[in-house]
Chains A and B, each alone.
Chain A
């Protein structure tokens, strides 16, 4: 899976492209854990390029959110496609995580 990582002021934007399934979950986990370990715990996860997510992918996002929050930051989500959003609703993660329609709004939430 391609994962684009960019810095925007004090916030790091992570934008994976492809299916966030069991095959990709470890790669995303390593990326997020690595960033948080380097002190970059203010994260925006842009899921606009993710058309499919399963429980492995969601587990990585939740674990990273908890790790980031423990370090004083957060993992904030944006760009959820309809199918992906539906799964966040089923699992109620839509309420537990900070979810924004667009990357701009997710970045603005950090200001």
Chain B
């Protein structure tokens, strides 16, 4: 039987102090979508990192700017979108961290890519960036080993 596609949305503003409220909402949302406990923790981190990016980079530290997070699920997968309306993500500027060099920055997007089964970014909009994380339910999705990097649209 197909699980109905439920969708929850959350709005916050671009202050680090809002992240606690986001995590509280998202934990309850993931619990409601039947996401296993280890995946819940990883997804809390991944979504938090995308919101950190919105605060730091898209809005360059300006407070009071909107960030929206939505979650929807099906039998196959959980899909989470994180959207801001600031400076668009510039893939040309992104450099994956060299973990061997033990950097003190640059782990955020690396963690998101590690956690997501599929990550895409939409910057073909009037303003801002919309990230989409797909996490397949256990035993679903493409065969192991087919995961790739960030796809752009």
Q: How many A-B residue pairs have CB under 8 A?
A: 60
Taken together as a complex, chains A and B put the C-alpha atoms of A21 and B56 apart, in Å, by 13
Taken together as a complex, chains A and B put the C-alpha atoms of A96 and B55 apart, in Å, by 29
Taken together as a complex, chains A and B put the C-alpha atoms of A14 and B42 apart, in Å, by 26
* B114 nearest CB neighbor, chain A only: A90
How many chain A residues touch the partner (CB < 8 A)? Answer: 22
Instruction: Give the contacting residue for B107; candidates A22, A58, A63, A96; CB below 8 A.
Output: A58
Contact with B along A45-56 (1 / 0, CB 8 A): 000000010111
If over half of A's interface residues share one DSSP class (helix, strand or loop), that class is named, otherwise mixed; here it is helix
* B100 nearest CB neighbor, chain A only: A92
| Size bracket, chain B contacts | 20 to 34
Instruction: Give the contacting residue for B111; candidates A55, A62, A63; CB below 8 A.
Output: A55
Taken together as a complex, chains A and B put the C-alpha atoms of A63 and B105 apart, in Å, by 9
The distance from the CB of B135 to the nearest CB of chain A, in whole angstroms, is 15
Q: Which of A55, A59, A91 has the most chain B CB within a 10 Å cutoff?
A: A55
The distance from the CB of B59 to the nearest CB of chain A, in whole angstroms, is 13
Instruction: Give the contacting residue for A22; candidates B16, B100, B111; CB below 8 A.
Output: B16
Please state if B102 and A96 are interface contacts (CB–CB under 8 Å): yes
* A57 nearest CB neighbor, chain B only: B107
Instruction: Give the contacting residue for A83; candidates B41, B103, B105, B107; CB below 8 A.
Output: B41
Task: Supply 7 A–B pairs (Cβ within 8 Å), ascending by A.
Answer: A23-B19, A54-B52, A55-B49, A55-B105, A62-B102, A63-B104, A86-B42
- Give the B-binding residues of A (Cβ under 8 A): 19, 21-23, 52, 54-56, 58-60, 62-63, 66, 83, 86-87, 90-93, 96
